[in-house]
């Protein structure tokens, strides 16, 4: 009897009036940078790559020396790189995610197929097209018999999966110390807000034999290719974002505009 009375009292006291107006909590959304970074990683996983990660506070040797970037290279100056105090500590905020590739080669034996997305740091002033903290995704393939044709096919597959089946890749000769031969690559983007056009996107090339030797891999037996591109750059031309400030300032109105992308 007492139990029944208690149950009736609880039901009465805890009854919810469903006719009362409710406060609608704002619905959150993932930042579009996270969405597109994960999308790119998923595309490479579908090609058989693994996602690799590494520390943002990195040794100078892995960030520069292991990648054939000598002590006199301009990238190693205070004008381009954040060095960690005290002076001579040998530590920097990584300027690219390439050290993840070097770590992977040091820790594994080929074949190696990895993609390394992450945050990087350079001493750029924040403006419409630059920011001192940005995101890159880089890829590395080490195996027997790899050629520039395999590299081109990989980038073509990425472009078509990310930007549509009409997208294409073109190369322009360039120089990078960690690849030889090297190229910058553009993507043909038919849905650009200013009309179909070529858009500069990233760099690529065959891994320099000196990098393979530094990371303990015999260049007579194995070769490979590497590539990298900016994620903010992809977000800008894929979605028509003209100002980098919109991406980095954390305005919820900017994030909300993208909703939940599948």
At 52-66, the pLDDT tens digits run 999 999 999 999 999
Most confident of 18-22, 214-218, 253-257: 214-218
pLDDT at 262: 43
Contact between 100 and 118 (Cβ < 8 Å): yes
pLDDT at 62: 96
- Taken in order of first residue, the domains within the chain and their CATH numbers are 30-255 (3.30.930.10)
pLDDT band with cut points at 50, 70 and 90 for residue 191? confident
Query: Distance between CA 179 and CA 196 in Å, rounded?
Result: 30
- Of residues 120, 123, 121, 127, the one with CA closest to residue 80: 123
In percent, the amount of the chain with pLDDT more than 70 equals: 90
Query: Distance between CA 186 and CA 169 in Å, rounded?
Result: 6
pLDDT at 261 over 60: no
At 157-182, the pLDDT tens digits run 999 999 889 999 999 999 999 999 99
Q: For the chain, what is the mean pLDDT?
A: 88
Query: Distance between CA 210 and CA 68 in Å, rounded?
Result: 7
DSSP for 67-86 reads: GT--TT-GGGSTTT--BPSS
pLDDT band with cut points at 50, 70 and 90 for residue 43? very high
Structure-token match 């590539």, residue found:
227
pLDDT band with cut points at 50, 70 and 90 for residue 252? confident
- Mapping DSSP to helix (H, G, I), strand (E, B) and coil, where does residue 198 land? strand
pLDDT band with cut points at 50, 70 and 90 for residue 259? low
pLDDT at 2 over 70: no
Contact between 227 and 154 (Cβ < 8 Å): yes
Contact between 117 and 101 (Cβ < 8 Å): no
pLDDT at 260: 52
Q: Is 30 exposed, middle or buried (0-12, 13-18, 19+ CB in 10 A)?
A: middle
Can you point out the beta strands (E) in the chain?
Answer: 50-51, 57-59, 91-93, 112-121, 133-143, 169-176, 179-189, 197-207, 223-230
pLDDT at 11 over 70: no
Window from 9-13, 114-118, 150-154 with minimum mean pLDDT: 9-13
pLDDT at 6 over 50: yes
Exposed e or buried b for every residue in 206-217, given b needs 16+ CB within 10 A?
bbbbebbebbeb
pLDDT at 147 over 80: yes
What six digits make up the tokens of 68? 């054939």
At 80-103, the pLDDT tens digits run 889 887 777 889 999 999 999 999
Query: Distance between CA 83 and CA 57 in Å, rounded?
Result: 10
User: Which letter does DSSP use for residue 132 in this model?
Assistant: S
Q: Sign (positive/negative) of CA torsion 171, 229, 235, 40? A: positive
Which residues, 6+ apart, have CB-to-CB distance to 104 below 8 Å? 52, 112, 114, 116, 140
């Amino acid at each position: 009897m007492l139990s029944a009375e208690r149950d009736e009292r609880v039901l009465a006291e805890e009854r919810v009036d469903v006719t009362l107006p409710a406060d609608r909590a704002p619905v959150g959304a993932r930042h579009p940078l996270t969405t597109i970074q994960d999308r790119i990683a998923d595309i490479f996983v579908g090609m058989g790559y693994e996602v690799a990660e590494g520390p943002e506070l990195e040794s100078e040797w892995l960030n520069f020396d292991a990648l054939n970037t000598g002590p006199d290279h301009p990238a190693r100056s205070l004008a381009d790189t954040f060095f960690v105090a005290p002076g001579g500590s040998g530590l920097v905020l990584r300027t690219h995610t390439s050290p993840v590739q070097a770590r992977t080669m040091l820790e594994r034996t080929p074949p190696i197929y990895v993609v390394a997305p992450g945050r990087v740091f350079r001493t750029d002033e924040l403006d419409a097209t630059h920011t001192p903290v940005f995101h890159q995704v880089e890829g590395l393939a080490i195996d027997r018999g790899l050629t520039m044709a395999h590299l081109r096919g990989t980038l073509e597959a990425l472009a078509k999966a990310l930007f549509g089946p009409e997208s294409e890749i073109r190369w322009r000769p360039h120089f990078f110390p960690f690849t030889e031969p090297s190229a910058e690559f553009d993507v043909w983007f038919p849905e650009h807000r200013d009309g179909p056009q070529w858009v500069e996107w990233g760099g690529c090339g065959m891994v320099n034999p000196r990098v393979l030797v530094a990371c303990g891999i015999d260049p007579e037996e194995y070769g490979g290719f590497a590539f990298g591109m900016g994620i903010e750059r992809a977000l800008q031309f894929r979605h028509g974002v003209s100002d980098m400030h919109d991406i980095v300032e954390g305005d919820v109105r900017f994030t909300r505009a993208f909703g939940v992308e599948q």
